[in-house]
Chain A
Amino acid sequence: MLIAVLSGFILALSLVITGKWIKGKGAPLVGLFPLALFGYFVSFFPAIMKGESLTFTYEWIPSLGVNLSFHLDGLSLLFCLLITGIGALVFFYTAPYLKEHIYLDRFFGYLSMFMGSMLGLVLSDNIITLFVFWELTSISSFFLIGFNNESEESRRSAMMALSMTGIGGLFLLASMIVLGTVGGSYEISTLLGSADMIKEHENYLWIIGLLFIGAFTKSAQFPFHFWLPDAMKAPTPVSTYLHSATMVKAGIYLLARFTPMLGETVYWNGTLIIIGSITMVYAAIHAVFRLDLKGILAYSTISALGILVFLIGLGTDQALLAAAVFILVHALYKATLFLITGIIDHETGTRDVSKLSGLNKVMLPVGIAGILAAISNAGIPPSFGFVGKDLIYEATLGFETLIWVLSGVALLTNICLMYAGFQAGIKPFTGQLPKAYEKVHLPSPLMWVPPLLLGSLGMVFGLMPFLIDKSLIQAVVNAMIRGGALDVELKLWHGFNLVLLLSGITLAAGFLLYYFLKPSALLEAKTNRWEKLSPKSLTKGLGGIFSGISKLWTGFFQNGYLRYYLIFALTFLTFILAYKLFKETELYINFNDLTGITFYEVAAMVIIAFAVLFTVLTKSRLAAVASLGVVGYSICLVFLFYSAPDLAMTQFSIDTLTVILFVLVIYNLPKYLKLSNQISRVRDGIMSVIFGALISILTLEVLNEPVLKETSQFYAENAYTLAKGKNVVNVILVDFRGTDTFVEITVLAIAALGVYSLLKLQLKSTEKE
């Protein structure tokens, strides 16, 4: 299982080597890899069918409770199959779609990285690992949206998507940490056991609030939805894969996964119903007025995600069943529509729905796929979409309160969605074929077979729901219900009842709308007028203010003058030191503890003091270096006075070397110039006096604290017995702390190499001149 999850990353890495081959002949074969994974996950069917679930655990950071534990139940399996199945088709589709693109290998790399992260996300049992994979999907999605990295707009959309989902991810992390602390475990399977306790905990609202922000940003719920239409700048395979079938459903997955643990409270259900219904209606209406095929699909995707959130919010067994079915329904038809959009765009060069018609004359199989998808989307019997929509109405009608409001909202959404689906799936293929497109031809089968396959599946599952109801859907639903043991049976025909009536109204209204409302630029412009008030513009405005402030802030602190950086840092340090020292400590000097003074020591100190002052004040560089040497030698004397012969020797030789070094270099440097003015000198002088004084006071304070001699004691007692040395300092260096010393000499070696290369480089550049 670990290998299955990581294989995406491994493949992405291996492209570094095999990239050339992949770009050329190997491209159509890459799809075999997700296909193999699909087969692997299908092999779990029998176990899942029996209602079992499988757990795989690998330790990762045991000290933090972070494990790579994977849990496969119905819900994860459904997502795994979608990820690998649609993944495989998208991989195949990409090969001709981006044929001979120079970065095709990279594209496959990002895609498989994404697939790996997505699998990890839906399989993780550990909530921290879940977060890690969650962020990985955001990152790989960033690369995929910004794949056309030469277009500024696509870079901007990528940034927007990354910041929205990335920030959401941070909220998710916060939520997970609170959840882990409250529940006492980071494993979902363990946390499920303490669901009641979590729900009554005072931090419960924090957990779900933060979780919601994470899920809503990822799944493009109002008011965070606006990154998704922008993300359509990505190549179509990406939009298909990430922004309709899998990644945006990660938020849905999250909500579904935590429903048995955190659900069934007023806050949980209420929030989800409200946000879900706003999103589904808002986005569905938007979808009606779009002209760009991808724009239509983007908004209808948002709307569909809204429906899912809404259904999870309803939270009844019926609603959860509807959600489970609708996830599959939506993935099938929306991926199909996206794929045919890609084909249309690829072959005709436009995605403007008002210009497209009659294409079935030139690309019939694509047209069939489109019509199948549109049927399933509209919920016309006998498609799988019909089953799905019936379940949605059943769920709203079966709810405790507000039945008519909820059903009305669902009805309105479904009508708009049906219209949008017709626009995308039927409109381009019916009617007159414009002259301009007469020479359009059918693309490679690798491109049109995937949508046709997905479109037909929507029909197959509709006609034969028994294929998946007991085997998959039942397990999915039961994973969402606490202690769930629901028996699922899907049927196409329910008899004449209210549900059928609602379905009928939907279809009739949808057809009427499609007949009367023709897409036009005028209408789109009218809806765009409201753009100023949309969350997107508000966020952008807010972002503008933020970046303005940060510019001022950065300009003030990071002004490019080293000494101002230093002044800021030192002033801050001075203030906290001073505050701490004067607030909490009393200054006293214990004269009994002091060692005596001899004439030599005083002399050495006086020499140091004068040499330091001379170094600072002299106007000659050579004099400064010389007096610096005097300081060093006098310090060497200090070491000698106080029982540190090793230090004295080292200080002596190093000081000699430093002076030699300085003298060698300084000839080539300019004379000291009087660069700073009087005021800054006085200011710096005051600062340094205060800083020096504070350090002195601090030292005095520390001297009053008792010394812990335990470690020294250990070395003193064991230097000879364990390491056979009598110079304890040397024993520490070469034996007890030998590893540190080894690192140190490595650093020295690096410094020498640095010097060497700096000077040699310089030689080269002067040679050039």
Chain B
Amino acid sequence: MELLLVFIIGLLYGAGVYMILRRSLVKLIIGLILMGNGANLLIFLLGRIVKGNPPLINSDANILGEIYADPIPQALILTAIVISFGLQSFAIILVKRAYKVVGTDDLDEMNATDEDL
């Protein structure tokens, strides 16, 4: 199963890189999201995957059982997901505004810095 995940992670990263190399701003953001997902899965996988044992303590116990999914990567990813939402929304709005002001979403036409934005 890990092998499949490894493949998916590579795919997400590759697709993300391809997208951020495009000239369109929207594609750039899509690329960022894809890479973000890839990174989340990467962290998740590196904490080792465990089936059917979430990091919840049984109602009659005080500590986690013998086998449990690692809670640290989960906490990290949870934070990452929420933060990346903030980042994405900011980026999307930036794109929208840039498009309105410059009149294009072609990155190559956004080179000049001196234009009155």
User: Which A residues lie at the B interface, using CB under 8 A?
Assistant: 560-563, 566-567, 570, 589, 593-597, 601-602, 605, 608-609, 612-613, 615-616, 621, 624-625, 628, 631-632, 635, 638-639, 641-647, 650-651, 654, 657-658, 661-662, 665-666, 668-670, 672-673, 675-676, 680, 684-685, 687-689, 691-693, 695-696, 699-700, 702-703, 707, 709, 711-712, 715-717, 719-721, 726-729, 732-733, 737, 740-741, 744, 747-748, 751-752, 754-755, 758-759, 762
Contact = CB atoms under 8 A, between A and B. Distances in A.
A741 B37 contact: no
Given A616-B18, A733-B79, A762-B100, 7 more contacts: A612-B15, A665-B96, A691-B17, A721-B63, A728-B64, A733-B75, A759-B93
Contacts of B88: 658, 661
Interface string B89-104: 1101111110111001
B59 A726 contact: yes
B2 A707 contact: no
Nearest to B108: A561
A624 B4 CA distance: 23
Nearest to A595: B1
A612 B17 CA distance: 12
A676 B27 CA distance: 12
Contacts of A601: 1, 4
Interface string B28-50: 10100110011011101111111
A658 B1 contact: no
Interface of B: 1-28, 30, 33-34, 37-38, 40-42, 44-59, 62-64, 68-72, 74-75, 77-79, 81-90, 92-97, 99-101, 104-108, 111
Nearest to B92: A665
Given A669-B96, A744-B79, A755-B93, A589 B3 contact: yes
Contacts of A733: 75, 78-79
Given A721-B62, A754-B90, A748 B83 contact: yes
A595 B49 contact: yes
Contacts of A631: 12, 34, 37
Determine the main DSSP class of A at the interface with B: helix
Contacts of B52: 643
Contacts of B64: 716-717, 719, 728
B38 A695 contact: yes
A688 B17 contact: yes
A628 B2 CA distance: 23
Given A651-B81, A728-B57, A638 B23 contact: no
Contacts of B77: 644, 647
B75 A747 contact: no
B89 A755 contact: yes
Contacts of B18: 616, 684-685, 687-688
A752 B101 CA distance: 21
Nearest to A721: B62
B54 A661 contact: no
B5 to A, nearest CB: 7
B68 to A, nearest CB: 6
A567 B21 contact: yes
A676 B22 contact: yes
Contact of B55 (A624, A658, A729): A729
10 nearest CB pairs, A to B: A692-B14, A696-B10, A751-B86, A643-B69, A716-B64, A688-B18, A726-B57, A692-B10, A728-B71, A560-B111
Nearest to A657: B85
Given A613-B15, A644-B44, A675-B22, A693 B81 contact: no
B97 to A, nearest CB: 5
A350 to B, nearest CB: 42
A169 B81 CA distance: 46
Given A616-B19, A695-B42, A729 B8 contact: no
A698 B97 CA distance: 38
Contact of B14 (A628, A688, A699, A755): A688
A607 to B, nearest CB: 10
Determine the main DSSP class of B at the interface with A: helix
A350 B86 CA distance: 64
A177 to B, nearest CB: 37
16 contacts: A563-B21, A612-B34, A624-B30, A635-B37, A639-B44, A665-B96, A680-B21, A684-B22, A696-B9, A699-B45, A712-B71, A727-B57, A729-B55, A733-B78, A755-B89, A762-B101
A645 B54 contact: yes
A617 B28 CA distance: 14
B79 A635 contact: no
A666 B23 CA distance: 16
Contacts of A669: 25-26, 95-96, 99, 105
Contact of B99 (A616, A662, A670): A670
Nearest to B75: A732
Contact of A628 (B30, B63, B70): B30
B20 to A, nearest CB: 6
A72 to B, nearest CB: 52
Given A665-B92, A669-B95, A712-B72, A695 B13 contact: yes
A601 to B, nearest CB: 6
A560 B2 CA distance: 40
Contact of A688 (B3, B21, B79, B83): B21
Nearest to A658: B88
Contacts of B20: 563, 566
Given A702-B46, A759-B97, A695 B81 contact: no
A662 B88 CA distance: 9
B114 to A, nearest CB: 12
B62 to A, nearest CB: 5
A711 B78 CA distance: 18
A650 B87 contact: no
Nearest to B39: A695
B45 A711 contact: no
B106 A647 contact: no
Contacts of A563: 20-23, 107
B58 to A, nearest CB: 8
Nearest to A737: B75
Contact of A676 (B23, B63, B69): B23
A621 B55 contact: no
A646 B78 contact: yes
A709 B70 contact: yes
Nearest to A672: B24
A647 B24 contact: no
Contacts of A609: 7-8, 11
Contacts of A639: 44
A747 to B, nearest CB: 6
Nearest to A632: B37
Given A601-B1, A672-B26, A729 B75 contact: yes
Contacts of B2: 593-595, 703
A500 B62 CA distance: 97
Contacts of B90: 751, 754-755, 758
Contacts of B56: 726-728
Contacts of A644: 44, 54, 69, 74, 77
A597 B9 CA distance: 17
A466 B77 CA distance: 78
Contacts of B14: 688-689, 691-693, 695
B92 A662 contact: yes
B72 A699 contact: no
Given A560-B111, A688-B21, A732-B72, A699 B96 contact: no
A654 B8 contact: no
B69 to A, nearest CB: 4
Contacts of A632: 37
Contacts of B37: 631-632, 635
Contacts of B7: 605, 609, 696
Contacts of A719: 57, 63-64, 71
A672 B3 CA distance: 35
